[in-house]
Amino acid sequence: MLPDYPNDATGNNLSRLKAAGSDMKSPMVIEFQVVLPSEAVAKKFDDSVKQRGFTTAIRKHDNDSNWEVACSKEMLPTHAGILGLQNELSQSAKPLGGYCNTWGSFGNKPV
């Protein structure tokens, strides 16, 4: 039985993870993509989120001048938890001209 997630982007993504066989009561790696205006700003943001326990990777956008910091954390895949971290990352990025764009996960389905 699928959990009853809200009808929004986060709820839809969680429903897809569950339908694909992930255990929604066990932790999985969730990656949040934070968009920032320059490489220097991305490096500054990267340093700050690493100190808060995120695993990170910095990438240049192909189609524009923006940079992205992929911020990953192992966590329980809850709607409230994901929205909370998205908000936290957006609030941290906002003074630097950035925002948390989206999130994703490969889930935790046994191989």
pLDDT in tens, the chain (111 residues): 445 789 999 999 999 999 999 999 999 999 999 999 999 999 999 999 999 999 999 999 888 999 999 999 999 999 999 999 999 999 999 999 999 999 999 999 877
Instruction: List the one residue out of 29, 94, 83, 96 whose CA is nearest residue 56.
Output: 29
Domains defined along the chain, listed by start? 33-96 (3.30.70)
